[in-house]
Structure 1
Amino acid sequence: MRASLFSVVAFLLLTGAANAQASLDGVLDPVRAKYALPAIAAAVVKEGKLLAVGVVGVRVVDTDIAATIEDRFHLGSDTKAMTATLAGMMVEEGKLRWNSTIGEVLGQDLPALRPKFAAITLAQLLSHTSGISPDNDEIGKLYFSADAYEYSLTQWRLRMIGAWGSKHDPSFPAAGKFQYANLGYITAGAMIEKVSGKPWERLIYERIYAPLGLSTAGIGAQATFGLYDAPVGHRTDDKGKVTPQPWGEPADLPASLGPAGLAHMSVKDFAAWAAWNAGEGKRGPALVRPETLKLLHTPVVEMQIKDPKPGTPKSGAYALGWGLSKFDWTEKPILTHNGSNGMNFASVEVDPDHDLALVVLINIAGPNADKASLEVMKTLYETYVK
C-alpha cells in the first residue's frame, strides 16, 4: 500500500507542475477500497492555491451513483471553528467581549440560571473550558425533545440552555479543565444570536459562506429530500450492517445543534475555508482582523487523549473552535479538528507556518473512516510540505 501511494505521489508532483490542479483520485481509491468506504474526498491548498483535489466512490452504498467534486459532504464539529469566527466578529463589533458571561447576555431571557452557570464566559464556551457536561442522557433528551417543534430554533436553544443551566453548576473532569461540550457551543450560538438580532443560520450564510464564495455550503443533511444528489451519510449497526440515511430526521442531528456541528459543503469549499485560516488574515476576505484570527488559533487549554490510536497525538491543546496537535508527520503542533454526526466523517489540518490546508471528507463514520483519513492526511502532508 505505501509503495503504491508513493508512486502516485511522485506522479502528482510531476503532473502538478504542469497542471493547475492534480487529481488525488489515485491516492484516494486504494484507501477507499482498503477501508470499505462508500466515498472519500480530499483537497490540498497551499498559499491560497488549490493544488490537488479528488473524490472517489459512490453517493449511496450498493449503488453506482458516483460521487463528484462538487458534491456536498457533512462537516460535523468542524462547524465549531465557524461559530467561533462569528463570535470573533461580534467581539470586533463591540457586541460581545471574550469575557462576556452567559448571564450578562442571556440573563434577561433566562432569569433562573444558577449563578455559577451564568458566570461562564464566551471564551470558556468556545474553548471547552466552561465546565458544561459533555453530551449525556439528560442533554440528549433536550436535543431530541418533541417540544422543540413548538418553537423556533433560537427559542428552543434558549429553552435548552435554561433547562440545563437552572439545574447544573459547572463541573470539571479530574484530568483538567478541558471537557468537550456541544451544549457549550449551542450556548455560544445563542449569545451570538442575542447580540446580533439574527439566527445563527442566517449569520453563517451572510458572514462566512457568502464572503468566502462557498456556493455549495449549507446546513443539515447534505442530500436534497428525495434525491441522491450528494454522498449521503451511512449508519453502521453493532453487527456491521451499513444502512444509508439520506433524508429527514435520521439523516442528521437535530437542527438546534447547528452552532456545534451541522454545516455541509463540497470538498473544494471546505478546502477554501481551511485555506483562509491557513493564511492567518494575509488574504481576503477580511472576515475578522488578523489579530482576532490569531487569537482563535492560539491554545487555551491542554487536553489529554486517552488510548490514542497508532499515529494519532497523545496530547494536544484546544484553542477557540480548533484543536492543536503534533502528529508523527509534523514538526510541531498544527491546527486540526474532526467532525462527525455518526454517519459522516470530516477532518481538517491547517499549518499556518507552511500556509497549507488539507481536508478529507467521508460519507460514513467510525474507526475505518478515522484510519482512512489519517492515512490520506499523512501522505498529503509529507508530499506538499516542501
Structure 2
Amino acid sequence: MKKSTILLFLSFSALCFGQSTSQFVDSIRIVYNIPELSYAVINSKAILEIEALGKHSIELSDAATINDRFHIGSNTKAMTAFIVAKYVEKGKLKWTTKFFDIFPEWKEESNVEYHQITLQDLLSHRARIQPFQGENDPSIPEFKGTKQEKRNSFGKFVLTLNPVDVDTTHKFIYSNAGYTLATMMLERVTKKSWEQLVEKVFHKDLKLDVGFSWPENQKSKDTWGHLFENDKLIPVASTVDYNLDFTEPAGDLNIKLKDYIKFIQFNLDGLEGNNNYLTAKTYQFIHKGIENYSLGWYNIYENGKELSTHSGTVETYYSLVHIDRIQGKAYIIFTNSFNQDTQQGVRLVMRKLKENYGS
C-alpha cells in the first residue's frame, strides 16, 4: 500500500472515530438535558479530539462553537496556584512562607490556631480555614472598597473565626476562603491585585484569553449558564449578580476551551520533565507535592493510575478535568448547566473518552 494511501486511510479512520465519539457524547448531552457540552482530549503536543455540541441556551437557536466561553468555577484554583508558583520561582514568596510573616500587624487580632499557617497550607486546604462554599457560611459583614480591599477585609474577618476540625476521615478542609488568603499574600508582595496578576501571567505572558466572572452573553453570542429550579433549567444572563465576592481567586474565571487546552498543555509538558513558563520541578510540586490535594489539584493514586483532577461550578456551569499523569493525556469537559443530571452526563462522557483513549 502506498504511503499516501495509508495516510488517507488513517486520517479517515481518525475522522470516523471522532464522529462516533461526538455522536455518543451528543446523545448523552440530549438525554441528560445539558444545553451545551464541549470536550477535548489532549496530550502535551496535540489536540487528539475536540468538539462543541448543543446550543448557547435552551431558549436560543444559536449553536455551540469551539470559540464559546465557559465559567470554570473551582478550576480557577489551579490557575491561581499557577500564578502563585511563578512568583515563588521569582523569589517573592516561599511555599513555606507563613501568612503572618506577610501580615504581621493582623496576628494579635487573629485566632491563635492560625498563627503558623503557610502559603502551601492555604493552597492545599490544610489551614483549617472555614470553607465559605455557600452552605452554612458564617454571616459576613458588609465590606467597602475595591475588590482587593474587600478581599483584605474579608480575609482579616476569616482569621478571627474558629478553625474547622480535622479528623482521620477528612485529610483536608476544602476552603474557598483559604485561596483568598493565599492570594492576599501574593498581592501584598507583588503590589498588584489578583486581577492584574491574571492579566500579566495569562494575557501578557502566555497569550491566553482569560475572562472574569460570567461569559458576556448580552453583547455577543456566547454561552448562558443555567440554574436548576423547580425541576427545570433557567438561563442566566451575564448581568446577574451571583455574589462570589471575596473568593474570586477560588472560582471566578471564564475561558475558551482552546485557551484552557493550552494551559493544561503547559502542565502536561512540565509533568513530562520539561521547563516552560514554570520549571518541571514546580509542576511536580503543584500536582504531586502534597497528598490527597496538592496545589489547585486533587492528587489521586488508584488502580495503578496517577491523576490530577478537579471540577468546578457555581451552580450554572460545570467543568471537569482529568490529567492522566502516567499516559500524559488530559480530558476536559465544559458544560453550561449544573444539576445531578449534568454531573451524571459528564461522568459518562469522561468514562467514554478514557475508554477510547486508553486511560
Which residue type is aligned with residue 235 of structure 1? L
From the superposition, tell whether residues 174 and 283 of structure 1 become closer, same or farther in structure 2 (CA, over 3 Å): closer
Any conservation in 2 of the 1:72–1:265 contact (CA below 8 Å)? yes
Match of 1:322 in 2: 297
Letter in 1 for 2:81: A
Determine if the alignment matches structure 1 residue 295 to structure 2 residue 285.
Answer: yes
Q: Distance in 2 between matches of 1:108 and 1:163?
A: 14
- Check whether the contact 1:201–1:258 (CA below 8 A) recurs between aligned residues: no
Q: Does 1:378 align with 2:346?
A: no
Percent identity for Structure 1 against Structure 2: 25
State the one-letter code of the partner of 1:233: G
The change in CA–CA distance for 1:98 and 1:196 in structure 2 (over 3 A counts) is: same
Cα deviation for residue 162 of structure 1 reads 1.0
Counterpart secondary structure, 2:354: helix
Shift of 1:47: 3.4
2:154/2:246 contact within 8 Å kept: no
Tell me if the contact between 1:132 and 1:183 (Cα under 8 Å) persists in the aligned partners: yes
CA contact (8 A) 2:266 2:277 kept: no
- The answer on 1:338 being equivalent to 2:335 is no
| AA of the residue aligned to 2:256 | S
Which residue of the partner structure matches residue 223 of structure 1? 216
Question: Partners of 1:157 and 1:16 in 2: how far apart?
Answer: 52
Q: Superposition pairs for residues 1-386 of structure 1, below 5 Å?
A: 15=12, 17=14, 22=18, 25-108=22-105, 112-135=109-132, 139=137, 141-142=139-140, 147-148=142-143, 150-169=144-163, 171-173=165-167, 175-215=169-209, 217-224=210-217, 226-227=218-219, 229-237=221-229, 239-250=230-241, 252-280=242-270, 286-298=276-288, 300-301=290-291, 317-325=292-300, 331-385=304-358
Give the superposition deviation at 1:69.
0.7
Q: Which amino acid aligns with 2:234?
A: T
Secondary structure at the aligned position of 2:131 is classed as coil
* Structure 1 Cα separation of the partners of residues 99 and 227 of structure 2: 36
Q: TM-score, normalised by structure 2?
A: 0.88
C-alpha deviation, 1:154, in angstroms = 1.1
CA distance in 1, matches of 2:43, 2:72: 21
State the alpha-carbon separation in 2 of the partners of residues 160 and 198 from structure 1. 18
Q: Which runs of 5+ in 1 are unaligned?
A: 1-11, 302-316
SS in 2 for 1:108: helix
The 2-side partners of 1:41 and 1:159 are apart by 38
The 8 Å contact of residues 126 and 172 in structure 2, kept in 1 or not, is answered as yes
Which range is displaced more, 93-102 or 110-119? 110-119
1:4 aligns to what? none
Amino acid aligned to 1:227: K
Deviations 1:147-175 (A, max 9, x none): 34x31111111111111212324532462
Q: What amino acid maps onto 2:254 in structure 1?
A: H
Gaps (5+ residues) in structure 2?
1-8
Q: How far does the alpha carbon of each residue in 1:209-241 deviate from its partner, in whole angstroms, 9 at most, with x for none?
A: 4433323x21111124x235221111111x212
Query: Are the equivalent residues in 1 in contact too, given 2:109–2:160 (CA < 8 A)?
Result: yes
* CA gap 1:18/1:234 in 2 versus in 1, 3 angstroms: closer
Give the secondary-structure state (helix, strand or coil) at the position aligned to 1:214.
Answer: coil
Q: Residues 61 and 89 of structure 1: is their aligned pair in 2 closer, same or farther, counting only changes over 3 Å?
A: same
RMSD between aligned residues: 2.6
**What displacement does 1:183 show?**
0.4
Amino acid at match of 2:263: W
| 1:138 Cα deviation after fit | 6.8
Letter in 2 for 1:270: Y
How far did 1:109 drift?
5.7
- Larger mean CA deviation between 282-291 and 33-42 belongs to 282-291
Query: Cα deviations across residues 251-291 of structure 1 (Å, max 9, x unaligned)?
Result: x4424322101111112222221222122265988221110
Amino acid at match of 2:328: D
Bigger CA drift: 132-141 or 153-162? 132-141
> How many matched pairs?
349
Verify the 8 A CA contact 2:55 2:63 in the aligned structure 1.
Answer: yes
Q: Distance in 1 between matches of 2:164 and 2:103?
A: 17
